[in-house]
Amino acid sequence: MASKLQKTAADALAGVLFDGMTIMAGGFGLCGIPENLIAAIRAAGVKDLTVVSNNCGVDDFGLGILLAGGQIRKMISSYVGENKLFAELYLSGQLELEFNPQGTLAERIRAGGAGIPAFFTKTGVGTLVAEGKEVREFDGELYVMERGLTADLSIVKAYRGDHEGNLVYRRTARNFNPMMATAGKVTIAEVEELCVTGQLDKDNIHTPGIYVDRIFKGAVFEKRIEQRTVRKPEEVSSLGKVGA
C-alpha cells in the first residue's frame, strides 16, 4: 500500500483538484480549520468550487481567501455573518448560497459518509428550508426530508495523527471535522503533531484511519481567534458563577 504520508499541503493535493469540484472544509468559525490546505488551494487557483463548510472564514483568513480569489461558485453553510465580502458577492449575484440549519448540515454530512441517502428531521418544518422538500408525518409530528451529502474532497484539521491516518482532535476544534472526514471521496488531513503509528491511544481515536487518504504535518498554524474574550484573574468569572 502506498504511504498516506505527505510532506506538504501542495503534495497532499497533487492530482486531486479540478475546476467545478465540491470540497468539504472542517472547522467552526476559524476554530479547527485546515488552514494549510486552504492556503494551498488558494495557490493552486482551482475555481468554480462548491464549498461545504459551516462558515466561510473572515475576509482575509480561512475560506475567505478563496472567496477573495474568486474561486468559490457556491457555498453550503449555516452561518456566514462574519464575512463582509460574502454578503457583497451574494447580494450582487456573484455567489450562490445554500443555507442549511447547522444540525441538518452536520447530519447530512454524517449520513453521506455513512451511506444514508436521506433522512427526516423536525428542523425547518414550515420554514423556507423545507420548501420543495418532502414533508412526512411520523407519530403525529411533521418531518422534512433532507439528503445525505458527500464531496469530491474533504479537507480536515486534527491535533494529532499517525501514519495510518488515525486522528485525534482537540477541544472544540473537533466540530465538523470527524463527519467530513467520512464524506469525502478523497480525504486529506493536516495535523499539528504527526505521531509514529502506535503512539496514539487506540481507545481514543476520533477518526479511524480508514477515512483518511492522505496526511501531513501543517507547516504553519496561525490559529487565529475571532472573539478574544477575557476576564481579569481576580474575577471569579465574567461568564458568571458557572462552575464556581
Partner 1 sequence: MAWTRDQMAARAATELRDGFYVNLGIGIPTLVANYIPTGMQVTLQSENGMLGMGPFPTEDEIDADLINAGKQTITELASSSYFSSADSFAMIRGGHIDLSILGAMQVAANGDLANWMVPGKMVKGMGGAMDLVAGVKRVVVVMEHSEKSGAPKLLTACTLPLTGQKVVDLVVTELGVFSVDRGKSPLTLLELAPDVTLDEIRARTGAPFEVAKAAA
Interface positions with partner 1 (CB under 8 A):
28-32, 54, 77-82, 86-87, 90-91, 97, 99, 101-107, 109-110, 121-129, 159, 169-179, 206, 223-233, 236-244
CB 160 within 8 A of CB 192: yes
* Minimal distance, residue 185 CB to partner 1, in Å: 20
Q: Which is nearer to partner 1, 10 or 90 (CB)?
A: 90
Q: Which is nearer to partner 1, 14 or 219 (CB)?
A: 219
Residues in Cβ contact with 116 at an 8 Å cutoff, skipping those fewer than 6 apart? 148
Q: Which is nearer to partner 1, 59 or 79 (CB)?
A: 79
Residues in Cβ contact with 133 at an 8 Å cutoff, skipping those fewer than 6 apart? 144, 145, 146
Q: Which is nearer to partner 1, 14 or 236 (CB)?
A: 236
Q: How far apart are CA 24 and CA 52, in angstroms?
A: 5
CA 220 to the chain's CA centroid: 19
Residue carrying C-alpha cell 457556491: 74
* Minimal distance, residue 77 CB to partner 1, in Å: 6
Contacts 24+ apart (CB under 8 A), 10-13: 10/40, 10/43, 10/44, 11/216, 12/37, 12/40, 12/188, 12/190, 12/214, 12/215, 12/216, 13/37, 13/40, 13/41, 13/44, 13/188
* Minimal distance, residue 148 CB to partner 1, in Å: 12
* Minimal distance, residue 188 CB to partner 1, in Å: 18
Q: Which is nearer to partner 1, 46 or 113 (CB)?
A: 113
* Minimal distance, residue 27 CB to partner 1, in Å: 10
